[in-house]
Protein backbone atom coordinates (compact mmCIF):
# COMPACT_ATOMS: atom_id res chain seq x y z
CA UNK A 1 0.00 0.00 0.00
CA UNK A 2 1.34 3.45 -0.95
CA UNK A 3 1.51 5.57 2.19
CA UNK A 4 3.41 8.48 0.61
CA UNK A 5 2.38 11.94 1.70
CA UNK A 6 3.68 13.69 -1.40
CA UNK A 7 0.10 14.37 -2.43
CA UNK A 8 0.03 16.98 0.34
CA UNK A 9 2.42 19.08 -1.73
CA UNK A 10 0.11 19.07 -4.74
CA UNK A 11 -2.61 20.76 -2.69
CA UNK A 12 -0.29 23.44 -1.27
CA UNK A 13 -1.07 26.99 -2.27
CA UNK A 14 1.25 29.12 -0.13
CA UNK A 15 4.97 28.39 -0.52
CA UNK A 16 8.16 29.60 1.15
CA UNK A 17 11.24 28.73 -0.89
CA UNK A 18 14.67 29.11 0.72
CA UNK A 19 17.84 29.06 -1.36
CA UNK A 20 21.24 28.63 0.33
CA UNK A 21 24.49 30.54 -0.16
CA UNK A 22 26.49 27.71 -1.74
CA UNK A 23 23.84 27.26 -4.44
CA UNK A 24 23.44 30.94 -5.21
CA UNK A 25 27.16 31.59 -5.51
CA UNK A 26 28.19 28.23 -7.00
CA UNK A 27 30.36 27.57 -3.93
CA UNK A 28 31.89 31.04 -3.88
CA UNK A 29 32.44 31.70 -7.59
CA UNK A 30 30.04 34.64 -7.71
CA UNK A 31 26.27 34.75 -8.22
CA UNK A 32 25.21 31.86 -10.47
CA UNK A 33 22.86 33.74 -12.79
CA UNK A 34 22.01 30.70 -14.88
CA UNK A 35 20.87 28.73 -11.83
CA UNK A 36 18.99 31.74 -10.42
CA UNK A 37 17.19 32.24 -13.74
CA UNK A 38 16.12 28.58 -13.64
CA UNK A 39 14.66 28.82 -10.13
CA UNK A 40 12.98 32.13 -10.95
CA UNK A 41 11.31 30.64 -14.03
CA UNK A 42 9.80 27.87 -11.90
CA UNK A 43 8.64 30.29 -9.18
CA UNK A 44 7.10 32.52 -11.85
CA UNK A 45 5.24 29.49 -13.18
CA UNK A 46 3.91 28.84 -9.68
CA UNK A 47 2.61 32.39 -9.37
CA UNK A 48 0.96 32.21 -12.80
CA UNK A 49 -0.84 29.05 -11.59
CA UNK A 50 -2.33 30.97 -8.66
CA UNK A 51 0.13 30.03 -5.93
CA UNK A 52 1.61 32.48 -3.43
CA UNK A 53 5.41 32.43 -3.23
CA UNK A 54 7.82 34.01 -0.76
CA UNK A 55 11.53 33.64 -1.50
CA UNK A 56 13.98 33.51 1.41
CA UNK A 57 17.39 34.09 -0.09
CA UNK A 58 20.78 33.68 1.50
CA UNK A 59 23.87 34.80 -0.36
CA UNK A 60 24.35 38.47 0.55
CA UNK A 61 27.55 37.89 2.52
CA UNK A 62 28.86 35.31 0.05
CA UNK A 63 28.09 37.56 -2.93
CA UNK A 64 29.73 40.50 -1.17
CA UNK A 65 32.84 38.43 -0.49
CA UNK A 66 33.13 37.72 -4.21
CA UNK A 67 32.66 41.38 -5.14
CA UNK A 68 35.27 42.42 -2.59
CA UNK A 69 37.70 39.72 -3.65
CA UNK A 70 37.69 37.91 -0.29
CA UNK A 71 38.47 34.20 -0.40
CA UNK A 72 37.56 33.29 3.19
CA UNK A 73 34.51 34.24 5.22
CA UNK A 74 35.57 36.92 7.73
CA UNK A 75 34.98 36.56 11.46
CA UNK A 76 34.80 40.24 12.45
CA UNK A 77 31.18 41.38 12.63
CA UNK A 78 31.86 44.73 10.90
CA UNK A 79 33.48 42.93 7.95
CA UNK A 80 30.55 40.53 7.66
CA UNK A 81 28.15 43.46 7.71
CA UNK A 82 30.17 45.27 5.04
CA UNK A 83 30.13 42.18 2.84
CA UNK A 84 26.36 41.83 3.35
CA UNK A 85 25.75 45.46 2.38
CA UNK A 86 27.76 45.08 -0.82
CA UNK A 87 26.33 41.68 -1.70
CA UNK A 88 22.68 42.50 -1.04
CA UNK A 89 22.74 45.13 -3.79
CA UNK A 90 23.88 42.65 -6.41
CA UNK A 91 21.59 39.90 -5.15
CA UNK A 92 18.41 41.98 -5.39
CA UNK A 93 19.41 43.37 -8.78
CA UNK A 94 19.76 39.85 -10.18
CA UNK A 95 16.37 38.77 -8.79
CA UNK A 96 14.66 41.92 -10.05
CA UNK A 97 15.98 41.43 -13.58
CA UNK A 98 15.14 37.72 -13.59
CA UNK A 99 11.53 38.14 -12.45
CA UNK A 100 10.94 41.09 -14.79
CA UNK A 101 11.31 38.68 -17.71
CA UNK A 102 8.03 37.15 -16.51
CA UNK A 103 6.37 40.52 -15.84
CA UNK A 104 6.57 39.97 -12.09
CA UNK A 105 7.64 42.51 -9.50
CA UNK A 106 9.85 41.76 -6.52
CA UNK A 107 10.00 43.39 -3.09
CA UNK A 108 13.00 43.43 -0.77
CA UNK A 109 12.18 42.47 2.83
CA UNK A 110 15.04 42.63 5.36
CA UNK A 111 14.14 41.30 8.79
CA UNK A 112 15.93 41.16 12.12
CA UNK A 113 14.99 39.57 15.42
CA UNK A 114 13.22 42.67 16.76
CA UNK A 115 10.84 42.59 13.80
CA UNK A 116 9.53 39.22 14.97
CA UNK A 117 10.04 39.68 18.72
CA UNK A 118 7.74 42.68 19.07
CA UNK A 119 4.16 41.64 18.50
CA UNK A 120 3.09 44.78 16.61
CA UNK A 121 6.06 44.66 14.25
CA UNK A 122 5.41 40.94 13.74
CA UNK A 123 1.81 41.67 12.73
CA UNK A 124 2.96 44.51 10.46
CA UNK A 125 5.44 42.18 8.72
CA UNK A 126 2.73 39.57 8.25
CA UNK A 127 0.32 42.11 6.77
CA UNK A 128 2.95 43.42 4.38
CA UNK A 129 3.94 39.96 3.15
CA UNK A 130 0.33 38.90 2.68
CA UNK A 131 -0.48 42.10 0.79
CA UNK A 132 2.51 41.63 -1.50
CA UNK A 133 1.64 38.01 -2.34
CA UNK A 134 -2.00 38.97 -2.96
CA UNK A 135 -0.67 41.46 -5.55
CA UNK A 136 1.37 38.65 -7.17
CA UNK A 137 4.60 40.30 -6.05
CA UNK A 138 7.51 38.06 -5.01
CA UNK A 139 8.87 39.11 -1.59
CA UNK A 140 12.62 38.40 -1.39
CA UNK A 141 13.39 37.98 2.30
CA UNK A 142 16.79 37.99 3.95
CA UNK A 143 18.13 38.69 7.42
CA UNK A 144 19.20 42.32 7.84
CA UNK A 145 22.86 41.38 8.19
CA UNK A 146 24.09 44.97 8.04
CA UNK A 147 22.67 45.84 11.47
CA UNK A 148 22.23 42.51 13.25
CA UNK A 149 24.67 41.18 15.86
CA UNK A 150 25.38 37.61 16.94
CA UNK A 151 23.31 38.12 20.10
CA UNK A 152 20.12 38.89 18.20
CA UNK A 153 20.52 37.10 14.86
CA UNK A 154 18.26 34.30 13.66
CA UNK A 155 21.39 32.21 13.23
CA UNK A 156 20.76 30.96 9.70
CA UNK A 157 18.28 31.38 6.89
CA UNK A 158 16.82 27.90 7.36
CA UNK A 159 15.43 29.21 10.65
CA UNK A 160 14.36 32.45 8.99
CA UNK A 161 12.55 30.44 6.30
CA UNK A 162 10.63 28.54 8.97
CA UNK A 163 9.76 31.75 10.82
CA UNK A 164 8.46 33.28 7.58
CA UNK A 165 6.43 30.11 6.98
CA UNK A 166 4.87 30.58 10.42
CA UNK A 167 4.40 34.28 9.78
CA UNK A 168 2.34 33.83 6.61
CA UNK A 169 0.85 30.42 7.55
CA UNK A 170 2.50 28.70 4.60
CA UNK A 171 1.51 25.23 3.45
CA UNK A 172 5.02 24.15 2.46
CA UNK A 173 8.60 25.23 3.15
CA UNK A 174 11.09 24.17 0.45
CA UNK A 175 14.77 24.31 1.42
CA UNK A 176 17.05 24.12 -1.62
CA UNK A 177 20.48 22.85 -0.65
CA UNK A 178 23.67 21.48 -2.18
CA UNK A 179 22.74 17.94 -1.08
CA UNK A 180 20.16 15.79 -2.87
CA UNK A 181 18.20 15.58 0.38
CA UNK A 182 18.72 14.49 3.96
CA UNK A 183 20.66 11.27 4.47
CA UNK A 184 20.33 8.74 7.29
CA UNK A 185 24.06 9.26 7.96
CA UNK A 186 26.82 11.55 6.67
CA UNK A 187 27.39 10.59 2.99
CA UNK A 188 30.89 12.08 3.16
CA UNK A 189 31.82 9.43 5.71
CA UNK A 190 29.48 6.58 4.83
CA UNK A 191 29.25 5.42 1.22
CA UNK A 192 26.12 3.41 2.09
CA UNK A 193 24.20 6.43 3.38
CA UNK A 194 20.67 6.63 1.99
CA UNK A 195 18.35 9.59 1.42
CA UNK A 196 15.40 9.73 3.80
CA UNK A 197 12.40 9.93 1.48
CA UNK A 198 9.76 10.89 4.07
CA UNK A 199 9.69 11.26 7.84
CA UNK A 200 7.65 13.06 10.49
CA UNK A 201 9.13 16.52 11.12
CA UNK A 202 8.89 16.04 14.89
CA UNK A 203 10.95 12.83 15.00
CA UNK A 204 13.84 13.35 17.46
CA UNK A 205 15.89 10.71 15.64
CA UNK A 206 16.42 13.20 12.79
CA UNK A 207 18.89 15.22 14.87
CA UNK A 208 21.15 12.20 15.28
CA UNK A 209 21.34 11.88 11.49
CA UNK A 210 22.16 15.56 10.81
CA UNK A 211 25.70 16.91 10.26
CA UNK A 212 27.54 20.26 10.24
CA UNK A 213 27.43 23.35 8.01
CA UNK A 214 29.41 24.35 4.93
CA UNK A 215 32.11 26.97 4.34
CA UNK A 216 30.04 29.84 2.92
CA UNK A 217 26.79 29.52 4.80
CA UNK A 218 25.92 29.14 8.47
CA UNK A 219 23.45 26.28 8.20
CA UNK A 220 23.95 22.52 8.09
CA UNK A 221 21.42 19.71 8.06
CA UNK A 222 20.75 20.21 11.78
CA UNK A 223 19.39 23.70 11.14
CA UNK A 224 17.14 22.29 8.43
CA UNK A 225 15.70 19.72 10.82
CA UNK A 226 15.07 22.47 13.37
CA UNK A 227 13.45 24.58 10.65
CA UNK A 228 11.13 21.71 9.70
CA UNK A 229 10.09 21.29 13.32
CA UNK A 230 9.43 25.02 13.62
CA UNK A 231 7.47 25.11 10.35
CA UNK A 232 5.34 22.24 11.64
CA UNK A 233 3.88 24.66 14.22
CA UNK A 234 1.80 26.28 11.47
CA UNK A 235 1.01 22.92 9.90
CA UNK A 236 3.57 23.37 7.12
CA UNK A 237 5.41 20.47 5.52
CA UNK A 238 9.10 20.86 4.70
CA UNK A 239 11.00 19.54 1.69
CA UNK A 240 14.82 19.44 1.81
CA UNK A 241 16.03 18.90 -1.73
CA UNK A 242 18.98 19.46 -4.06
CA UNK A 243 18.76 22.83 -5.74
CA UNK A 244 20.74 21.66 -8.76
CA UNK A 245 18.21 18.97 -9.67
CA UNK A 246 16.62 19.84 -13.03
CA UNK A 247 13.32 21.72 -12.56
CA UNK A 248 13.48 20.93 -8.87
CA UNK A 249 10.78 23.34 -7.68
CA UNK A 250 8.24 22.29 -10.31
CA UNK A 251 8.88 18.62 -9.53
CA UNK A 252 8.44 19.15 -5.79
CA UNK A 253 5.16 20.95 -6.43
CA UNK A 254 4.02 18.05 -8.63
CA UNK A 255 4.64 15.65 -5.74
CA UNK A 256 7.55 13.78 -7.34
CA UNK A 257 9.57 11.66 -4.88
CA UNK A 258 12.74 13.76 -4.84
CA UNK A 259 14.59 15.04 -1.78
CA UNK A 260 13.30 14.55 1.75
CA UNK A 261 9.76 15.35 2.86
CA UNK A 262 9.49 16.10 6.58
CA UNK A 263 5.76 16.20 7.07
CA UNK A 264 3.75 17.89 9.80
CA UNK A 265 1.79 15.65 12.15
CA UNK A 266 0.55 18.09 14.77
CA UNK A 267 -2.34 20.50 14.39
CA UNK A 268 -1.39 24.11 13.57
CA UNK A 269 -0.97 26.38 16.58
CA UNK A 270 -3.08 29.48 17.06
CA UNK A 271 -1.55 32.64 15.59
CA UNK A 272 -0.42 34.10 18.92
CA UNK A 273 1.24 30.84 19.95
CA UNK A 274 3.02 30.60 16.59
CA UNK A 275 4.48 34.00 17.34
CA UNK A 276 5.61 32.79 20.76
CA UNK A 277 7.27 29.63 19.50
CA UNK A 278 9.17 31.59 16.89
CA UNK A 279 10.92 33.81 19.42
CA UNK A 280 14.67 33.25 19.31
CA UNK A 281 15.67 35.31 22.36
CA UNK A 282 14.39 34.79 25.89
CA UNK A 283 14.97 36.99 28.91
CA UNK A 284 15.07 34.30 31.58
CA UNK A 285 14.44 30.73 32.66
CA UNK A 286 11.95 29.17 35.05
CA UNK A 287 12.95 25.74 36.37
CA UNK A 288 9.84 23.67 37.07
CA UNK A 289 9.19 20.73 39.38
CA UNK A 290 7.89 17.46 37.96
CA UNK A 291 4.33 18.23 39.00
CA UNK A 292 4.27 21.49 37.06
CA UNK A 293 5.77 19.80 34.00
CA UNK A 294 3.05 17.19 34.12
CA UNK A 295 0.29 19.81 34.46
CA UNK A 296 1.59 21.80 31.48
CA UNK A 297 2.17 18.84 29.19
CA UNK A 298 -0.84 16.66 29.98
CA UNK A 299 -3.53 19.05 31.20
CA UNK A 300 -2.81 22.23 29.24
CA UNK A 301 -3.10 24.48 32.26
CA UNK A 302 -1.44 27.74 33.23
CA UNK A 303 1.86 27.83 35.14
CA UNK A 304 1.34 28.71 38.82
CA UNK A 305 4.15 29.97 41.10
CA UNK A 306 3.93 26.86 43.27
CA UNK A 307 5.44 24.73 40.49
CA UNK A 308 8.57 26.85 40.05
CA UNK A 309 11.78 25.62 41.69
CA UNK A 310 14.08 28.49 40.67
CA UNK A 311 14.24 31.65 38.58
CA UNK A 312 17.19 32.56 36.35
CA UNK A 313 17.96 35.83 34.56
CA UNK A 314 16.47 39.31 34.76
CA UNK A 315 13.16 40.04 33.07
CA UNK A 316 10.15 42.35 33.18
CA UNK A 317 6.43 41.61 33.18
CA UNK A 318 5.45 40.59 29.65
CA UNK A 319 8.91 39.32 28.67
CA UNK A 320 9.45 35.92 27.10
CA UNK A 321 10.92 33.24 29.38
CA UNK A 322 11.84 29.59 28.88
CA UNK A 323 10.40 26.87 31.12
CA UNK A 324 12.73 23.93 31.75
CA UNK A 325 12.44 20.76 33.79
CA UNK A 326 15.01 19.95 36.47
CA UNK A 327 17.13 18.09 33.91
CA UNK A 328 17.47 21.20 31.77
CA UNK A 329 15.10 20.16 28.98
CA UNK A 330 12.97 22.96 27.51
CA UNK A 331 9.31 22.27 28.17
CA UNK A 332 7.57 25.48 27.18
CA UNK A 333 7.98 29.20 26.71
CA UNK A 334 5.67 32.06 27.48
CA UNK A 335 5.09 35.63 28.60
CA UNK A 336 5.43 36.20 32.35
CA UNK A 337 2.97 38.12 34.51
CA UNK A 338 5.62 39.13 37.07
CA UNK A 339 9.17 40.46 36.80
CA UNK A 340 12.20 38.41 37.88
CA UNK A 341 12.44 39.86 41.39
CA UNK A 342 8.76 39.22 42.00
CA UNK A 343 8.99 35.75 40.50
CA UNK A 344 11.81 34.81 42.88
CA UNK A 345 9.75 35.92 45.87
CA UNK A 346 6.67 33.90 44.90
CA UNK A 347 8.41 30.84 43.40
CA UNK A 348 7.27 27.64 45.12
CA UNK A 349 4.42 29.42 46.86
CA UNK A 350 0.65 29.06 46.50
CA UNK A 351 -1.11 31.79 44.53
CA UNK A 352 -3.09 32.69 47.66
CA UNK A 353 0.18 33.95 49.19
CA UNK A 354 1.12 36.36 46.38
CA UNK A 355 -0.65 39.34 47.98
CA UNK A 356 1.11 38.72 51.31
CA UNK A 357 4.54 38.21 49.72
CA UNK A 358 4.45 41.15 47.30
CA UNK A 359 1.91 43.49 48.86
CA UNK A 360 -0.21 43.27 45.70
CA UNK A 361 -1.43 40.67 43.23
CA UNK A 362 -1.90 41.12 39.50
CA UNK A 363 -2.57 37.50 38.49
CA UNK A 364 -2.81 34.05 40.05
CA UNK A 365 -0.66 32.60 37.25
CA UNK A 366 3.01 33.19 36.62
CA UNK A 367 2.28 32.44 32.94
CA UNK A 368 -1.30 32.17 31.68
CA UNK A 369 -1.99 29.25 29.34
CA UNK A 370 -3.04 31.66 26.55
CA UNK A 371 0.49 33.09 26.66
CA UNK A 372 2.22 29.71 26.95
CA UNK A 373 3.29 27.29 24.23
CA UNK A 374 4.69 23.79 24.70
CA UNK A 375 7.93 22.90 22.92
**pLDDT tens digit string along 313-356?**
999 888 889 999 999 999 999 889 999 999 999 999 999 999 99
Which parts of the chain sit beneath pLDDT 50?
1, 151-152, 212-219
Specify the pLDDT at position 115: 81
Specify the pLDDT at position 138: 97
Residue pair 262/241 in contact by the 8 Å Cβ criterion: no
Specify the pLDDT at position 271: 67
Ramachandran bin of 208, using left for φ above 0, alpha for ψ from -120 to 50, beta for the remaining angles: alpha
Name the H helices within the chain: 7-10, 21-24, 33-48, 60-68, 77-100, 113-117, 119-134, 157-168, 205-209, 221-231, 248-253, 271-277, 290-294, 340-346, 354-358
CA angle 127, 132, 136 (to 5 degrees): 145
Specify the pLDDT at position 211: 58
The whole-angstrom separation of Cα 360 and Cα 291 is 26
**What one-character-per-residue DSSP string does 149-164 give?**
-GGG--SSHHHHHHHH
Nearest to 20 by CA among 226, 163, 223: 223
The domains of the chain, with CATH numbers, are: 7-274 (3.40.1160.10), 282-374 (2.30.130.10)
Amino acid sequence: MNTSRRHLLQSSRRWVIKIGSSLLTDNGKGLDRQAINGWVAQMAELVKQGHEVVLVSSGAVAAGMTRLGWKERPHAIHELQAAAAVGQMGLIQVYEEAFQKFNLCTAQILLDHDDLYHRQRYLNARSTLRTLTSLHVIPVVNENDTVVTDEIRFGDNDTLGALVANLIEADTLVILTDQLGMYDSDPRQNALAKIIAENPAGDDALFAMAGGGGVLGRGGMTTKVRAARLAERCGANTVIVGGRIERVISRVVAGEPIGTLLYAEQEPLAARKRWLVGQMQSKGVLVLDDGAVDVLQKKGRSLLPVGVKSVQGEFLRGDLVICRDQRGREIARGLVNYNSDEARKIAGQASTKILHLLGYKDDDELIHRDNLVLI
